[in-house]
Structure 1
Amino acid sequence: MTRPGGARPGPFDVVVLLLAVFLVYLGSTSVERVARAATADGEPGTFTASRVECVSHLGHESCTCYGTHRPDDGGAERGDVYLHGADRAACVVGAGTASFDVGSATRVYGPEGSREWLFTAAMVLAGTGLGVWATRPWWPRRGKAA
């Protein structure tokens, strides 16, 4: 049986459509958090580094700065979180730095915010584009004689 558009969706179209839905779902679930992280809109506090882990690859060094976040209002301290975007120079063990907790389970952000929203936006746009492309067999065909 043919669809109104004249073409039948194949298994590849269905798999791409499912992937598209998954990408849009993943991106959309973190929109609020990345928007808050972009502007450092969260609970202000102080991040105190306890350890730094660095990996060197292809002439580049990538470091993760782990420690605790203590809210300025005296709330509960969060341990074993990392300061997003901190490099070796910015992460001094034992030193405190301004940070914001935007509700992420494993990380806090510096006062400069984050550019994670770029990846999230790209993921949602890619999923939307794939979804549009995968549904093309269902589109009505123009200019075909009946």
Structure 2
Amino acid sequence: LKEKWIVQDKQLKAFKKMPGEGDISISERQSTDASPVVSLEPVLEISQRRSDRIIFLRKEVKITSRGFSLLYFLAQHKQEVVSYNSILDEIWEDDEDAIYTRIISHVYKFRRNILDAIGHNEDNTEKVKDIFKVISGRGVMLNISDEELQIN
């Protein structure tokens, strides 16, 4: 029996490869306790030093300064529905003409620019829509886990 090591729950654990099994990539294999394998690469990277871009699946995506502020605010409240009013108060605090359609417009621009960088296909479109969610009548949610998000 051969052993391979995987990173799981921030600890290294071994799993045994049975004779006759083909080579299986680490991301396709789970340990015997059936808990998920932790991805080593973040899906979304945000750098406070570079407010003109983000990194999504290792691809650079250009972003406006207002868009960056919105994304950073959503990242601070990831996996929460952030109300339109909270976003307007935080990001557009000095703009009395700001309305929720501006927020939605920025989210659609995020999606489009990310898909331009990573490629337009059905899987990518669904992944991006699932991460950048517009909740009708309520607000916006950045649906991403701690492991998938890196802020520095």
Report the TM-score when normalising by structure 2: 0.24
Higher strand share: 1
Report the TM-score when normalising by structure 1: 0.24
Query: Which structure would you say has the larger RCO, counting Cα contacts within 8 Å and 6 or more residues apart?
Result: 1
Rg (Cα) greater in structure: 1
